[in-house]
Amino acid sequence: MEIKPIRTEYDYHQALERLETIFDAKLGSTEGDELEVLGILIDRYENEHFPIDLPDPIEAIKFRMEQLGYNQNDLANIVGLKSRASEILNRKRKLSLEMIRQLHDKLNIPTEVLIQAY
């Protein structure tokens, strides 16, 4: 087991190939330990070289509503008024701090997504 930092794209591809080879290793075995360490190194490399931006706040609300089977009336129950829900979904009204709190609590959308400018 030769574990080394992933510094280049070649190292990254080599690590992915090795990970695929030992993917079904048993926990606590030598290969299982190697699998765990490789996973951490690959994750770190991907986070540095292939960052994923946070989703747009309104798109996140729409997506979560769709997942939960919610409609505009359900959103209105969270933000106060049906007209307010419509304005939010059509980007005519910004989210207030209280709306962000409610959306976070009721829809489980991370606050760091909701506080972004849009």
Give residue-wise pLDDT tens across range 56-90: 999 999 999 999 999 999 999 999 899 999 999 99
Q: What is the pLDDT of residue 116?
A: 93
Q: What angle do CA 103, 104, 109 make, to 5 degrees?
A: 100
The number of angstroms, rounded, from the C-alpha of 32 to the middle of its chain's C-alpha atoms is: 27
State the CB neighbour count (10 A cutoff) for residue 46.
14
- The predicted model scores a pTM of 0.64
CB 64 within 8 A of CB 29: no
Q: What is the pLDDT of residue 118?
A: 86
Give residue-wise pLDDT tens across range 25-57: 998 899 999 999 999 999 999 999 999 889 999
Q: What is the pLDDT of residue 1?
A: 63
